[in-house]
Amino acid sequence: MTTKVVKGSLWTLAGQIAPMAVTLIATPFTIRLLGSEGYGVFVLVALIPTYLGFADFGMGLGSTVALIDVQNEPYCNISKSQIEKDLRVPCQ
């Protein structure tokens, strides 16, 4: 178990470091190719998906809480097939 955890942690670390290294190497070439103004526009456009990822307005957490509430309600057995079909999870 411990070996798997260490191995997985090292792979995760490598997976985070590799994109940073590629970005550090590619940035000067990109700036030279696009120019400073073009690079600024490129960075602003590239940040849009990042901002949208952070702007989920808590929907991920809200969906999780709603799913837990639905599974724990007494009416879960009444519409069990519909809940399983819609949410793709079994009721308890």
Is 51 found in the same domain as 19? yes
Whether residues 47 and 69 share a domain: the answer is: no
65 with 50, same domain: the answer is no
pTM of the model: 0.50
CA distance 45 to 7: 36
CA dist 52 and 63 (Å) reads 17
Residues 11 and 47 in one domain: yes
pLDDT in the model for residue 92: 54
As a whole number of angstroms, the distance between CA 82 and CA 72 comes to: 15
Assess whether 12 and 40 both reside in one domain: yes
Range of the domain at 29: 1-55
pLDDT tens for the chain, 92 residues: list them.
688 889 999 999 999 999 999 999 999 999 999 999 999 999 999 999 888 877 776 677 777 777 777 666 555 554 555 555 565 555 55
In terms of domains, do 11 and 48 share one?
yes
Count: domains in the chain: 2
